[in-house]
Amino acid sequence: MQSIRHRLLAIAAATLSLGANATEDGYSATYTSCMDASGGVTMNMLNCMGGETQQQDARLNHSYKAAMQALEKGQQSQLRNAQRLWIKFRDADCALLGSLTGGTIDSVNHASCILEMTKERADELVWLAEHGQ
């Protein structure tokens, strides 16, 4: 249990310290500025993460459509199934991470997890769209 708490605190710390190179990591400059201005206040951080998650989700949806167009019929079916399973996994995994401490950090951990996993999946779909058959 101790290592899980350390992981959750590391996620929260990483979210707070995105800094100047955040755009290089795929997060918007608006998000970075918002987090910098949040003052570590939970509600402010959640608002920042919510806005960035919307942007990353739109990017994910756009990349999913592009990947579907780049793939053959059979591969499209595989991607559709994989994406449905990925959504279930992301939601379940982040729900777990958002319930482990019982404190207010849980909401930050949940939102951070959703944001990070959505961004990573969007990155994967971009790659798939560019390299699909």
Listed as ranges, residues in the chain with pLDDT below 70 are 1-23, 133
- Burial group, residue 17, by CB count within 10 angstroms (0-12, 13-18, 19+): exposed
What is the dotted CATH code of the domain comprising 2-131? Answer: 1.20.1270.180
Residue 132 has a pLDDT of: 76
Residue 16 has a pLDDT of: 39
Residue 18 has a pLDDT of: 37
Residue 23 has a pLDDT of: 63
Nearest-10 Cα torsion for 121, 123, 124, 130: 150
Residue 3 has a pLDDT of: 44
Could you tell me if 117 and 93 are in contact, meaning their C-beta atoms sit under 8 angstroms apart? yes
Query: pTM of the predicted model, to two decimals?
Result: 0.80
